[in-house]
Amino acid sequence: MATKNKGVLSYGFLCFMFFNLSTAQAQSPENGEAAEGQKRILVGEVRSGTDHKTIEGVSLRSDRGAAMTDEQGKFRIPVTVNAGKLEVRHIGFQPQSIDVNANMKQLEILLHPLENQIEEVEVVSTGYQQLPKERATGSFVQIDNELLNRRVSTNLLDRLDGVASGLQFHTSSAGSDRFNPSFIQIRGRSTLNANHQPLIVVDNFAYDGDISSINPNDVESITILKDAAAASTWGARSGNGVIVIKTKEGARGRPTKIALTGNFTVGAKPDLYEPSMPQLSPAEYIEVEQFLFDQGAYNTRIRNGWQGISPAVDIFRNTRDNVITSSDSLRMVNELKKMDARSELLSHYYRQSLQQQYNLNFSGGGNNNQFFISGGYDDNRNNVVNSYGKRYSINANHAYLFFDDRMRVTTNLVMTSSKSGAGAQVANLYPYDRLTNDQGEAMAITNANGLSHSFTDMFGDGKLLDWKHRPLDELKRGSTLLGDRTEYRLNTAVDYRFNDYFKASVRYGFEKGVSESVNYNGVESFYARDMINRFATIDATSGEVAFNLPVGGISNNTTNAFTSSNGRVQLDFAKNWGKHELNAIAGSEVKDVQTDRSGVIYYGHDPLSLANQNASIDFSRIYNYSYGSGSGRISTGASQYNSVDRFFSYFTNASYTFDRRYTISGSARRDESNLFGVATNQKGVPLWSAGLAWTLSNEKFFHVPFIDHLRVRTTYGYTGNVDRSLSAYLTANSASHLITSYNQLYADIVNPPNPSLRWERVGNLNMGIDVMLLSGRLSLTADYWRKKGTDLIGPAPIAPQTGVSTFTGNTASTSSRGLDIELTSVNLDGKIKWTSTVLFNIAQDKVTEYLLETGSNYTVISSPSANPLEGYPYWALFSYRYKGLDNEGSPIGYLDGQESTEYNSIVNSLNREDLVYSGSRVPTHFGSFRNTLSYGAFDLSFNIIYKFGVVFRRASLDNSSLYGSGGTVTPTQADYGQRWQQPGDELHTVVPAMIYPANGFRSRLYAFSESLVESAANIRLQDIRLGYTLKKIGGLSFTDLNIFTYVNNLGILWRRNDYGIDPDYPTSFPQPRTYAFGIQAQF
Amino acid sequence: MKTKIHFFITLAFTLFIVYACTNSDFLNVKPNSTILTPSTLEDVQKLLNHNINLCSGLAVMSSDEYVVNEQDWNVATAIERNAYVWAKDLYEGTRGILDWDRPFRAVFYANNALAVLQTLEPREAEQVMYDDLKGQALFKRAFASYELIRNFCKPYEEASAETDLGIPIRKEPAIDRLVQRSNLADSYQFVLDDLKRAAQLLGPRLGSNLFRPNDAATHALLARIYLDMGRYAEAELHADSTLLLYDRLIDYNTVSTTSATPFPNTHDELIFNAMTVGLYSFTTSGSLPRRYRMSEDLMDSYVANDLRLQLYFVSDNEGRYIMKRGYYGTGLYPFTGLAVDEIYLVKAECLARSGKEEQAVEVLLALLDKRYVSGKTPSANDILDDKTVLEVVLEERRKELVWRGLRWQDIKRYNREGYNITLTRSLGGQTYTLPANDPRFVFPIPDDEIEYSGITQNDR
């Protein structure tokens, strides 16, 4: 009921606005150039003198009034028919003063950039409107096309790393682990468990597809909205900031331009000997195995007969059983010690990467239309053999103008198709494993997870499939993972300008993406052979083999699809009169995103006929494996899932500027959604912002000769966030995998009813200053910000008698604050031009309220983000206090402040006093230093990125992971040589002695001790780009031809840790250096 | 022309807004397919299918069926250590005690099921299913509530039951309502009422799903509870009712003595499946390290021809016994559900107590006949020797129902009747004792419950 009332209200409001503007229309009959007494209206457009592009937001002032150019650079301004001056001003351009005369009809004004000034995009795009920066009160970062193209990458977002102030990239490794999170964030973290990624907007609508489907060559510019005034337009999804991507468009009345881009990038093989991925040498590895063998750790394995034992353990056993002599044994072990699996991996499994990128586009326009059409092709050959990615994209963007340019119809159609492939993985190798024999043939390996050779040689009497695992054969005929994603996006908009002040627009956006992945394991793959053999039944008496799983390929198919529809109606008002400028928008939008996932596994699959033999399988039966005591079902892999997210929102925002000195702005938005399922009138969250800006340099009293421009601004307001996992109703999960041991489906109550559930809100304060000095030689933007996340959704304890021990509601809070500074200086501006840009950011957050008292210190240390402590950052790193070793090589910790070796009690202690806060796992101080030099046709730029205020936990010798179950030795260990070995060693090492059996608590104390925490501070030379621009080759002329080379991941200039570890990749291979060569041409 | 365009744009605006506002279903769509807002009989069954039949492990850990050595005791968790030596402070600050939380979760699920059922109006064809679901919910609420009573309340004494503290009785699913402890008489009455209603609603054992209660299970549970209360006539009555509905025993001669998991998930003797929370290494069978050994006095009571020796236990290298697997399939944790053997023993005990000794021996021998190697079942004379029938029945009760969470309850019951059983443990030269009727026979209520609902703590 309440909705309907609201609906009628807003409808009334819009109609009211509409009728108002109709009357406004009727009352202002001035049209075109019709003169009226001494006054007439002058129309025209403003373009840039350098590239002829129209410029939006240029201020014009005559003695009769003021005006501003629109999106197409057009203006209409009242002037005195035959006299007076027209003042034209725009930041970054030389001001002009034009004498008005009677002959002037269609006036075209060319503005020339200020000397000594890098051209800046002066219009910020919020996705709802184009806002002249000088009127904006909020905090924006803009990345123009040139900066975006500086870096060569397939992925768009990668190009923002190190160039966007306040945008933080934390990419520790491809598959991030819980200690080294991987994400991007804007201004710290203001949520706990809800979405923490910025909202991405592409061409006016929130983007629901995969960011990798956007071809960076089709992107014109990116704007990052950071504070309340900037982001609150996006309402309940804007709490983490917004990244607005604007794609390229054509230009009216411009001859067709053709642009061609091509580049290729070569990347080195990963360095397997990196200190971040330490490995026991074969000799050390064998030493550990010998130690374990002597302790009897392999006896169970050896006795059961089928479990794989390593080649070294095989030698020890044969020696013990007197199958071989001790001198043979020594010789064979020495042979093994000479092997190095890593060198084999480097020659067979890794390769240099090669990425090729091509893009061709046509753009231009006639009198009443404009177009941009592009095609792109990316071909990536990755570091691992068989692993590749390809992307094809087509983008067509058209705009048509009707009725004297009053109506503008735009259509944008984008289609992207991506294909990827990955081959079998080579994992779990012993450090001395060989992939090839002396003849270069593929060798069978046996690993800890596999079966022993002696077992596979004999078992099944030849009636089973070959059961050997040969990694090199796997690379050729093994499992493959093929991905295929198609995405298309259609945007249409109709804009209609009623008069000089009012504009209405209707937009519709549709996106659909389907991604399919097929994990195909041919009958020759080890995966398929192993599974078929495992599920075979061998008759105990006759020895006959019955295959319960059909002999054939196993194809695991999953499909993911999403469909997103967005609609928006919007009214824009913009009017300048006298010293006043008023801009306002109001509108309403609706969004619907649906996703579908499904999966199925085909057994006995024939890739040619696509036939499968699933019908012959009894999926409900529990089969005893052909060996050992295990048993299991054959999984159907069948699954289906769908989700629907719907939003309905109203929004308005307005800004008023007086005399180009004072601006006030405000915005309000209300969102409703189906996510919470409460009565509709409780679904919404009102979000608002208010802002103020003062351009001091436009004040009459302001006379500081060396300051060109000085502006201060501040905003305050609320943005929001969504946790999609919650509902206000009693909800239960009844997914198909929830099956009791009696094969009955059950429902798991996820959420007890909580009718008061609300959206998360983030309060934002921003105070900024923009200064330009010395005729544009120096410009500075500095913003201080503070964010308070309130009503954050987090767990809170509740009396267990209710049946739930925790209850998830709006119970938590965070607070964060920081500083964003961007300083650009033109150092040299003669023949040699040299510009430097320094970015300096501080972002510190902490959890201020979290009601759930978490369990032991171990849970806090091992998953701090799931168990935040009040007063510490979300990504806090905690450790155990650590004293060192005693004279037996045992680690000494602290229990209730006292030295202790009661490892169980230390690890599970509840006393937080025993914890050490080691710092933030995400940099709190970061930024970059970018330099651009040019001389004649040459240009050179390089970027230095730095991170401070961040720590990481180094891996060391972990007694418990060193020997896994059944004596499996995990080779990735550091500090093996530094371990305590004899009394006295405790004076110079903190690495505990190896004991058998390992004590898990003792190992944890050391693995999570303060002595393994290192500062991750570092400064790195990220990249260098060298380009050469020419206008002509022989008879062929270009508008522009740029040939460039670009080197990425150059290396670390300085790091705080002494171990040579790249702290951004503490547990994985650092990004290999890449070399790119490319060409960008415009005809 | 212009007017027309104005008209169309106004119309577009209007339609859009009107559509979005009047189509209130737009925002009422379920956000994803895994969310189930229970609204059908099938949904209720899915709620009740959840394995909510979880019992406390504390009773097994505190009883005299096993021992641990000092070394293993030292590396155990606080609760394991404290439960073993009956320490006054059982939880030592540990929170989220599943022994208390899980039964309340079962009550919560059952109450939700009942609340959903209340909103449904079954068609005639659905009435049987509707009644059965209601019976299941009532049974599960009773089973869980009794589980709480027997662990966290004093043993039942008719004289003081009106003043002794019971459990918070929860009849509604709302989590915003907190309930104080009722008296013990009301707590028992709540459970008995639920079970008696359930007995009229539930049907016979169907299929293999033994998480789902049936008519025999209600009577079996009533028999167990009345026995515990010392109301032996009623216990015997419900034991009879149970056996009338379902009385199959397995002959242990047909069970593999070499299998690691001799009993399947569903076997003839099971009436209702439940187990303890899988938390404590002291009560985990099958997986390493096994930190406990069965008590020697218990093991000594089994004779060589007793098949239970080989089916229930395995011996380690040093000839000491540990539990093999639960009474239900591959389960690692003690079985705490209901089975026919327990009902035989309830019946035998009630008969013995009411002086019908011959009948008691007859019932007992019917059970033992399925437990001994064929033809080696001892005769009445053998087993009676110089003991009373009741003594023999109680001894067999201990041997048959070992590791089923019943022993602790039995000790409390025997002590109430004056048996004066004092438990002792020795660890590294120190001896711990728990005298009969000590307040430490009642487990304390977890700290978080006290903190958030303010209910009264037990004296300990």
- pLDDT of A587 higher than 60: yes
**How much is the pLDDT for A854?**
65
Neighbours of A938 (CB within 10 A): 12
- pLDDT of A118 higher than 50: no
CB-based contact, A590 to chain B, within 8 Å: yes
**Quick check: B260 and A629 CB within 8 A?**
yes
- pLDDT of A11 higher than 50: no
Neighbours of A26 (CB within 10 A): 9
Which among A14, A506, A672 is the nearest to B27, CB-wise? Answer: A672
Query: What are the tokens at B147?
Result: 């589980």
CB-based contact, A735 to chain B, within 8 Å: yes
A contacts of B453 (beta carbons < 8 Å)? 799, 801
Query: What are the tokens at B338?
Result: 């209901």
Using 50, 70 and 90 to split pLDDT, how confident is the model at A843?
very high
Going from the C-alpha of A395 to that of each of A256, A258, A359, A408, A467, the distances in angstroms are 16, 14, 11, 19, 50
- 8 Å CB contact between A606 and A528: no
A contacts of B43 (beta carbons < 8 Å)? 732, 734, 747
**Can you list the alpha helix ranges (DSSP code H) found in A643-767?**
680-683
**How much is the pLDDT for A782?**
95
CB-based contact, A304 to chain B, within 8 Å: no
**How much is the pLDDT for A780?**
93
Identify the residue with better confidence: B6 or A981.
Answer: A981
- pLDDT of B85 higher than 90: yes
Mark which residues 616-645 of A lie under 8 Å from B by CB: 629, 640-645
Going from the C-alpha of A528 to that of each of A479, A549, A944, the distances in angstroms are 8, 10, 49
Distance CA B211, CA A745 (A): 12
Neighbours of A619 (CB within 10 A): 13
Model pLDDT for residues A534-576, shown as the tens digit of each residue: 999 888 888 888 899 999 999 999 999 999 999 999 999 988 8
Model pLDDT for residues A220-259, shown as the tens digit of each residue: 889 999 888 877 788 888 888 999 999 988 888 788 889 8
Model pLDDT for residues A149-195, shown as the tens digit of each residue: 888 888 888 888 888 888 888 765 433 344 445 678 888 888 888 88
Long-range contacts of B282-285 (CB under 8 A, 24+ apart): B282/B60, B282/B61, B282/B66, B282/B68, B282/B76, B282/B80, B282/B83, B282/B84, B283/B57, B283/B60, B283/B61, B283/B333, B283/B334, B283/B403, B284/B332, B284/B333, B285/B322, B285/B323, B285/B324, B285/B325, B285/B326, B285/B332, B285/B333, B285/B403
CATH architecture of B4-254+336-453: Alpha Horseshoe (1.25)
Nearest to A48 by CA among A85, A91, A86, A84: A91
Question: Which of the residue ranges A645-649, A856-860, B51-55, B443-447 has the most confident prediction, judged by mean pLDDT?
Answer: B443-447
Neighbours of B381 (CB within 10 A): 8
Instruction: Provide, for chain B, the percentages of residues in helix, strand and coil under a 3-state DSSP scheme, each rounded to the nearest 5.
Output: 50, 10, 40
Q: Which residue has the tokens 């097929």?
A: A518
**Quick check: B24 and A4 CB within 8 A?**
yes
**Quick check: B75 and A904 CB within 8 A?**
yes
**Quick check: B46 and A732 CB within 8 A?**
yes
> pTM for the full model?
0.77
Percent of chain A residues past pLDDT 90, beyond the cut:
32
Model pLDDT for residues A797-812, shown as the tens digit of each residue: 788 898 887 777 788 8
Going from the C-alpha of A1032 to that of each of A22, A758, A1039, A1042, the distances in angstroms are 55, 63, 9, 11
- Helices first, then strands: H and E counts in chain B: 18, 13
What is the DSSP code string of A283-311? HHHHHHHHHHHHTTTTHHHHHHSSB---H
- pLDDT of A516 higher than 70: yes
**Quick check: B111 and A645 CB within 8 A?**
no
Model pLDDT for residues B284-303, shown as the tens digit of each residue: 765 445 678 899 999 999 99
Distance CA A988, CA A995 (A): 19
Using 50, 70 and 90 to split pLDDT, how confident is the model at B410?
very high
Distance CA A714, CA A737 (A): 52
Q: Which residue has the tokens 């070793």?
A: A885
Using 50, 70 and 90 to split pLDDT, how confident is the model at A853?
low
Neighbours of A430 (CB within 10 A): 24
**Averaged over B243-269, what is the pLDDT?**
89
**Quick check: B26 and A674 CB within 8 A?**
yes
**Quick check: A11 and B21 CB within 8 A?**
yes
**Chains A and B: how many Cβ contacts under 8 Å?**
220
Model pLDDT for residues B296-346, shown as the tens digit of each residue: 999 999 998 999 998 999 887 677 888 888 787 767 789 999 999 999 999
Distance CA A486, CA B150 (A): 61
**Quick check: B13 and A3 CB within 8 A?**
no
Using 50, 70 and 90 to split pLDDT, how confident is the model at A119?
very low
**Quick check: B173 and A730 CB within 8 A?**
yes
ipTM surpasses 0.90: no
- pLDDT of A983 higher than 70: yes
How close B252 comes to chain A (CA, Å)? 23
Residue type at A694? W
**How much is the pLDDT for A9?**
39
Distance CA A912, CA A881 (A): 11
- pLDDT of A395 higher than 90: yes
- B148: closest chain A residue by CA: A801
Query: What are the tokens at A534?
Result: 């495992």
B contacts of A683 (beta carbons < 8 Å)? 27
Mark which residues 461-490 of A lie under 8 Å from B by CB: none
Which among B31, B112, B452 is the nearest to A645, CB-wise? Answer: B31
Mark which residues 882-941 of A lie under 8 Å from B by CB: 904, 908, 910
- 8 Å CB contact between A807 and A739: no
**How much is the pLDDT for B227?**
96
Mutate to test the interface with A, among B35, B73, B98, B324 (most CBs of A within 10 A): B35
- B72: closest chain A residue by CA: A904
Using 50, 70 and 90 to split pLDDT, how confident is the model at A992?
very high
How close B22 comes to chain A (CA, Å)? 6
**How much is the pLDDT for A629?**
73
**Quick check: A588 and B20 CB within 8 A?**
yes
- pLDDT of B168 higher than 50: yes
The strand pair at A39-48 and A106-111 is best described as parallel
B contacts of A743 (beta carbons < 8 Å)? 209
**Quick check: A744 and B209 CB within 8 A?**
yes
B contacts of A745 (beta carbons < 8 Å)? 46, 49
**Quick check: B16 and A588 CB within 8 A?**
yes
- 8 Å CB contact between A18 and B5: no
**How much is the pLDDT for A1048?**
92
Whole-number mean pLDDT of chain A?
Answer: 84
CB-based contact, A797 to chain B, within 8 Å: yes
**Quick check: A403 and B1 CB within 8 A?**
yes
Model pLDDT for residues A736-748, shown as the tens digit of each residue: 667 777 778 888 8
**How much is the pLDDT for A34?**
42
CB-based contact, A203 to chain B, within 8 Å: no
- B33: closest chain A residue by CA: A642
- pLDDT of B394 higher than 70: yes
**Averaged over A68-88, what is the pLDDT?**
82
**How much is the pLDDT for B15?**
66
**How much is the pLDDT for B286?**
55
- Domain ranges within chain B, ordered by starting residue: 4-254+336-453
Model pLDDT for residues A1043-1081, shown as the tens digit of each residue: 999 999 998 999 998 888 888 888 778 888 999 999 988
How close B44 comes to chain A (CA, Å)? 9
Which of B8-17, B158-167, B251-260 has the lowest average pLDDT? B8-17
- 8 Å CB contact between A208 and A562: yes
Identify the residue with better confidence: A415 or A108.
Answer: A415
Model pLDDT for residues A353-383, shown as the tens digit of each residue: 999 999 999 998 888 899 999 999 999 999 8
- B169: closest chain A residue by CA: A801
Which among B14, B97, B179 is the nearest to A11, CB-wise? Answer: B14
Which among B21, B36, B455 is the nearest to A3, CB-wise? Answer: B21
Using 50, 70 and 90 to split pLDDT, how confident is the model at A970?
confident
Neighbours of A488 (CB within 10 A): 17
Which among B36, B210, B446 is the nearest to A800, CB-wise? Answer: B446
Which of A705-709, B22-26, B219-223 has the lowest average pLDDT? B22-26
